Amino acid sequence: MTGVEAALLRACQWLQSTEFATSIRESGYLYPAIEGSHVLALALSVGVVMWFDLRLAGLVWKQRPVSMVFLRLRPVMLVGFGIMFVTGALLFSARAPEAFQSFYFRTKMALLLLGGMNVALFHLTIDRRRAEWDALQPPPLPARLAGIVSLVLWFAIIAAGRIMAYNL
């Protein structure tokens, strides 16, 4: 274990030992409620993201401009991701050292980073010219690829998260 990993593990141990994290972990109702909320927020946010990705891939809502689909779905995506982030952090705090040392947790975090990079790359490149291709069917190849990559990454993120949950 490197010095950085050891320091992060100590920080995880401290986090888990806090009264707040202990109360989550030891509650017969709070941990399951947070976990259930995390899964519901996942369904809300990623479920909606998948519809947008399918539109980018040119597979659904072909007659609707991408901008209209995005504007309609964005509020739901943002609320879902906000809830998912908060509940994920709460779940992590309750079992931080175990999660930190889990291969599946690290895989999930790496995949989330790749997903974020995919979103950033899309918005910094092809999406800047959306007015040129907004209603095209199919959308340009880079937009379709961004949607397909997002779908694959979200499948992998969810799989890693579910496997992690059953192995902690």
Residue spans of the domains in the chain: they are 3-167
How much of the chain, in percent, has pLDDT values that exceed 90?
A: 92
pLDDT class of 54 with cuts at 50, 70, 90: very high
pLDDT, tens digit (0-9, with 9 covering 90-100), for 110-154: 999 999 999 999 999 999 999 999 988 899 999 999 999 999 999
Whole-structure pTM value: 0.89
At residue 1, the pLDDT reads: 75
Cβ–Cβ under 8 Å, residues 117 and 146: no
Cβ–Cβ under 8 Å, residues 109 and 160: no
